[in-house]
Structure formats: structure tokens, C-alpha cells
Amino acid sequence: MILETAWLLPCYGLLGAGITLPWSLRLVRRTGPRPAAYFNMLMTILALVHSCWLLTSIWGEPARQFEFSWFQAFDLNLVCSFNISSISAGASVMIATMSLISQVYGLGSLETDWALARFCALIGFFEAAITGIAFSDSLFFSYALLETLTLSTYLLVGFWYAQPLVVTAARDAFWTKRVGDLFLLMGVVVLSNLTDSLNFSDLETWANAPQTIAYFAEHQQFGTLLGLALIAGPIGKCAQFPLHLWLDEAMEGPNPASILRNSVVVGAGAYVLIKLQPVLSLFPVAAQVSVMLGAITAIGASLVAIAQIDMKRALSHSTSAYLGLVFIAVGMQQPDLALGLLFSHGISKSLLFLSSGAVMMTTVTQDLTEMGGLKTRMPATLVGFIVGSLGLVAMIPFGGFWTLLRWEETFWNSDPWLIAIALFVNSVTAFGLMRIFALVFLGSPKPKTRRAPEVAWQIAIPLVALTIITLFVPILLPSWNFVDIDLDTVDIWGSVVLFASGLLGFGIGAYIYIRSPYAVGSSVSMPPKITRSAWKALQDLLANDLYVQTIYESTVVLVVGGGSRLLSWIDRYLVDGSVNFLGFASIFSGESLRYTVTGRLQQYVLTIMIGLIVIVFAAFYGLN
């Protein structure tokens, strides 16, 4: 019975968003926006209870599919298919938990904002779309739900639409995602013509069929284009190079939305990519492109993160880096490893954004150079940030360690260069987190942190709850077979190397920002020759995102803009000019002929005779 009601889980968030509409549209003003938040949280709690009940019922059972006809006309039959498994039910539990945490946090941080009800409605819409993706077994409906996520991202990033920078960030995020979505739509349309069903389970059977393998072996170029189209959508959703700039700008949205966006929203695109992995295995070039783009993003984003002075932007770039590892795992046909990375990263990164949001709310700033000395003033936030950092970086015994240890065991013999990438990302991320920790919590208090208090209970309760959940990640990972924690068979040398990479990053960060005489907040200033040297150029290079946006403006934007201006000139002066000339000639000839109408019959006969003489003369002259 509980399995047959699983389709209701996406409806809770949608219903919560619908209930809050009277407050969102400000049709109800007497009570204020708080009732909308309470109604939305109630629906999320019901979704969480239902998800937990479903998870306990499906645990250990094989996956099951349920479907019903959504639209049927002539030969067109769109079927809504659901995949009920322990992984999809667990994803639903995680989504509901993160949504509830975001709403409780939002109730505390946006308490004085008149648009609190609108925020709750958008979070409910967000929750419904992501939950639908978790259970959807149809590529068609997954694409439709990804489109709703794009719309939700646009609305949430542009939440404070009175600010010009926010409007620009929302527009850039929307259009950047639309680029990937357009190519994904092409891939969906092509697949619908090649197969009888767009269900992921049917696509897996179709991809493993000998005739399908033989077909794409003969049509490799066509298969390559199809594979690239299928990965284009997740590339945009997961902020991977070259469609990665939107996640940085999306940090202009409210802090509670960043918790969802950097944990489960970016993971939704990767989740669809993981489901498409059997199909992508048909296209080796697409798999190689996935690995290549994931490696570029993982290395580049982790480096860019350490040079940001905006706290949220520094954490958002590390999100792109870890999603790059997920793309590598999918390209190497390791879907379980990719899911483990998504899970461990999502929990830890949510805790980091929650703790950093608490800091930004009390200090009213996101600038790391304006912070310091909060270790004694915000102890709960300090503990949350430390646990989130240890959970993200491969430190024993936290979840990030076990997922990256499986990464080492998977690629140790076949592709050791992938292990080098993971160790590099782990070490640089540890350095960046130590940098943030030192600038925010250590040192002497700054003017904006001198009187900063600990957060209120609306933020403290989800902060403590998420800290406890992060500590339980190593217990949850083996439950879904994401990792195999067996102390008797664990790779000792691999564990030492992995642990040492994290310690190396923490150690270098501690030396530069704590122990060094030139650390931030120290009375000793850095020599001018050093500050004006290559280090300054390197810092500017990383702080400006490797000048990728400038390169885009000098290449893609210049070509597209120049082409659009050329087409505009052709349309205005050639096309419109030709049409306007014909219209002017018609008007001029008509006005000229008007003066020949006199009403005298003999003049009309004379004109006709002259015309006939001219025609006869021309015909006779032409024959000769």
C-alpha cells in the first residue's frame, strides 16, 4: 500500500507552495507572512515522514516501477513512470530534510523580509521538482522537471529583484542553463525516435541490446553527437566547465536557498546523468568528454575557490570542483561511486553553507577580510563549520574519506592520474577551508564581528541537527553500498596518502593564515616587492575565475554580438530597405498616374494608340 502512494511525495512541496500563494501574492496581509512558512514546513514534515516510512518499507527490496498514462492522443502516449528503490527513497528523505532545514533557517534569517511567503512558496516548488527527479523513471519527465528547476533557480536567485546585480545574476543563471537544456532536448527528441520508451529501465535494456551496439558502431559520429547532447544538460545544471559561471553569480540569492542549491539542486543534474550512464556507455567520445570536463572543472574550480574573498563564492566554487569528480566517475562507468560522492558532499556542503550563513547573518557581511575573532562568540557555528570541513575533506573517519578511499581503490591500477586529481582537489579544498576558518573564526575581532552574537534557535537547531547527520554519514554510506567499510581489508597505504593530502592542505593553510608572520591580521606587513610580484598576478588570475568570463566576452560574445549586429543591419537596410523601396515606388507611380485621369475620351484613345504603336515597333525591332 505504501508503495502505491509514493507518487504523492512530490505533491507535498507543490501543495505547500500552492497553500502559501495567498500570502505570496499579498492577498492576506493581516496575519503577516509567518503562517505561510508554517504551512509550508508542515507539508515538508509530512513529506519527510512519508519518505522515511517508504524507505523502511522498501529497504532491502528490489527496485519496482509504477507507471500510468499521463497523455494519450493518436499514436502519442506519454507515460509517467516511477522508480521506487532504496536509493530514490533515501534521496527523498535527504531532499525533505534539506528543505526543512532551509525553511527553518529561512524563518530565522528572513523574519523581517516582507517576501518571506514568496520564499517559502519557491522552496516548496523547488522541493517538488527535485523529489520528482528522484523518483522519475522517465527521461522525458526528468527533462521537464529539470526545466522547472531552471525556472526555480531564476526566481530564487532573483529573489531581491530590486537590486540590479541580483537581476543580472538571475538572468545569467537562467540563460546559461538554457544552453545545456537546449542540447539535452535535442538528445531527448532523437532518443524518442530511436527507442519505443524513454524510461530509464527500458533505455538500459535498449543500450545493452546487440543491435543497438552494432548500430552505433557503424554510426559513430551520430552517436558522438547524441552523447554530447545528453551530457550538455547536466553540465549546465552541475556548473561544469564551460557552463560553470552561473553558480558563482547565483550566490546573490538568499542564504537559505544556497543550502539546497549547493547540496541537492546541483546534484539533480548529476542524478539524471547517472541514470543515463548505460546509454552513455555506447558513446566513448562522450564519456571521454565527461571525464575531461570533470577534470578541468575539478582542478580549476578548486584553485579559484582559494582566491575568493566572498565567503559564499569560495564555497560555491568547491561545489563545482566536487561535482567535477562526479562527472569523472560517470564517464568512467562508476555510478555507485558517483552517488556516494553526491551524498557525502551534499551533506557536508549543506552544513558548511548553514554555518557560513549564520556567520553572514550576524556580521551582516560576506567579505572574509571584514571578519575575524568569532571562535568564542559563535561556538555552535564554529563546531558546525569544523565538522562540515572534516566531512568534506578526506579526514578519518568522516564520510568524505571513505568515498575518496573507494575512488583510490577503483582507479589505483587502471587510471592513477585520476587519483592524482582527487588528491589535488582534496588538498586544495582543505587549504581553502582552513583559510576561511582562520579569517572568520581566528585572529582579532573586526568592527563587524566585535559584537556578533551566537545565532538564534531557528538557526541553531538545524545547525546542530545537520552536524549530527554529518557525523552519521560514515554509517549511512555502506547502507546503500556506496562504500565498503571493512577495517580488515582497508588499503593502509591508500588511506595514509589520502589522509596526508588533507593534512597537507590544512597544514599549509594554517602556516599561511595562522603561524606565518605575514598572516592576515598580523602587524607585520608583506614586503612591497612580494605583493607586486607574480604572486599578485596569480591571485588576480584565480580571483577572476581564470579570466574565463573575459575570454567569453572576447570570443563567443564578440562573435555572437557581431553576427547579431550584422544580421540586424541586413534586416534593417537590405530587407526592410527593399520592401520600403517597393512600397515607395508603388506609391509614387500611383500618385503619378493619378494626374493622367482627365475624363477626356479622345485623350484615352490617343494614349492607347501610342502604346500600341510602341509595342508593335518594339516587337518588329526585336524580330529583326
Domain match, 250 and 366 both: yes
Q: Which residue carries 598580523 as its cell?
A: 522
Answer whether residue 536 is part of any domain: no
Answer whether residue 358 is part of any domain: yes
Domain match, 146 and 133 both: no
Residue-level pLDDT at 487: 65
Domain match, 207 and 309 both: yes
Instruction: Name the packing angle between helices 379-392 and 399-411 (round to 10°).
Output: 10
SS3 sequence, 338-368? HHHHHHHHHHHHHHHHHHHHHHHHHHCCCEH
Q: Which of 137, 168, 191 is the last residue in one of the domains?
A: 137
Domain match, 142 and 107 both: no
A 10 A CB-CB count for 226 gives 21
Which of 398, 393, 388 minimizes the C-alpha distance to 353?
A: 388
**H/E stretch holding 81:** strand 76-84
Residue-level pLDDT at 297: 92
Rounded-to-integer distance, Cα 333 and Cα 354, Å: 33
Domain match, 147 and 68 both: no
Answer whether residue 409 is part of any domain: yes
- Could you report the per-residue pLDDT of 517-562, keeping only the tens digit for each? 445 444 434 444 444 556 777 777 877 777 887 887 788 778 888 8
- DSSP annotation string for 177-194: HHHHHHHHHHHHHHHHHH
Rounded-to-integer distance, Cα 16 and Cα 37, Å: 9
Answer whether residue 528 is part of any domain: no
Instruction: Name the packing angle between helices 457-471 and 335-363 (round to 10°).
Output: 150
Domain match, 482 and 442 both: yes
Task: Give the total number of structural domains in the chain.
Answer: 3
Which of 272, 275, 266, 318 minimizes the C-alpha distance to 297?
A: 318
Distances, alpha carbon 375 to alpha carbons 12, 267, 449, 512, in Å: 39, 32, 11, 19
Rounded-to-integer distance, Cα 136 and Cα 274, Å: 13
Q: Which of 476, 505, 523 is the last residue in one of the domains?
A: 523
Domain range for 594: 559-623
Answer whether residue 530 is part of any domain: no
Residue-level pLDDT at 523: 40
Rounded-to-integer distance, Cα 236 and Cα 323, Å: 11
Write out residues in the chain with pLDDT < 50, as ranges: 517-518, 520-531
Residue-level pLDDT at 197: 81
Answer whether residue 351 is part of any domain: yes
Rounded-to-integer distance, Cα 378 and Cα 389, Å: 16
Secondary structure tally for the chain: helices H, strands E? 29, 2
Residue-level pLDDT at 530: 44
Domain match, 465 and 372 both: yes
Domain match, 118 and 154 both: no
Rounded-to-integer distance, Cα 458 and Cα 108, Å: 5
Domain match, 84 and 175 both: no
Residue-level pLDDT at 524: 38
Domain match, 119 and 152 both: no
Residue-level pLDDT at 196: 81
Residue-level pLDDT at 597: 65
Domain match, 513 and 566 both: no
| Side chain identity, residue 405 | L
Domain match, 144 and 212 both: yes
pTM confidence score: 0.86
Which of 415, 402, 434 minimizes the C-alpha distance to 505?
A: 434
Q: Which of 86, 107, 137 is the last residue in one of the domains?
A: 137
Answer whether residue 539 is part of any domain: no
